[in-house]
Structure 1
Amino acid sequence: MSSQPVQPVAPTSPLAVASLVLGVLAWVALPVLGALGAVVCGHLARRDIRAARGTLGGDGLAIGGLVLGYAHLVVLVLGVILAILFFGGLAALIAFAAH
């Protein structure tokens, strides 16, 4: 057995946990609110973690929430753009066929 002292574990930032949970919920149940909440909580958590200088953990959770939130927002924006292009093209096709 080694006799090395056990390092205390820094507590996890609640905002980091909230960011990850909201990021997952954005993909499952709360598309826009979950993604926005994940991004906001993720940035706030990373700020708090940096300011704590090692006494607060959860940076990976915050990054995970940020990735999930931003990815979902990108998918939403692309979906809206594709819907506009599709229905705009459909309207143009109908208008062209009417003449």
Structure 2
Amino acid sequence: MNQIPKTSPLAVTSLVTGLLGWTLLPLLGSLVAIVTGHMARSEIRRSGGTLDGDGMALVGLALGWAPVVLGLLGLMVVFLFLGGVAWLASVG
């Protein structure tokens, strides 16, 4: 008799906090989404088919990592811009 796989609570947590990372809790939501997403995917792989939700965990990971990467790129642009302005001010 086949058992219907349950959805991993960690995968649901990752998806929800990933969405919160874009709206109400920018940094905290993203970090929780990343951590729980990795934990969920590991838990699902170890479960032997009794847990489902890998897609939700993957989307939660993507939603968690995207603001972190965009924030780091934004900081790089700001520092490069300010560094260029400082260099131009020192040359002229």
> TM-score band, normalised by the shorter chain?
0.7 to 0.9
CA RMSD of aligned residues (A): 1.9
1:59 and 2:70 are equivalent in the alignment: no
Aligned counterpart, 1:44: 39
Q: Indicate conservation of the 8 Å contact 2:17/2:29, yes or no.
A: yes
Higher strand residue share: 2
Taking the aligned partners of 1:36 and 1:57, their CA distance within structure 2 comes to 22
Please say if 1:82 is aligned against 2:77. yes
Structure 1 portions without partners, runs of 5+? 1-6
1:43-88 deviations in Å (ceiling 9; x for gaps): 1001111111111111110000011112221111101101111222
Shift of 1:8: 5.1
Residues paired across the two proteins, number? 92
Q: 1:29 Cα shift?
A: 2.3
| Aligned-partner Cα distance in 1 for 2:11–2:64 | 13
1:16-49 deviation per Cα after TM superposition (whole angstroms, max 9, x unaligned): 0111111111111222222211111001001111
1:36 counterpart letter in structure 2: L
Letter in 1 for 2:27: V
Q: Which residue type is aligned with residue 94 of structure 1?
A: A
Which segments of 5 or more consecutive residues in structure 2 lack a partner in the other structure? none
| Runs ≥4 residues deviating over 4 A | none
- How far, CA to CA, are the matches of 1:86 and 1:31 in structure 2? 24
1:33 equivalent in alignment to 2:1: no
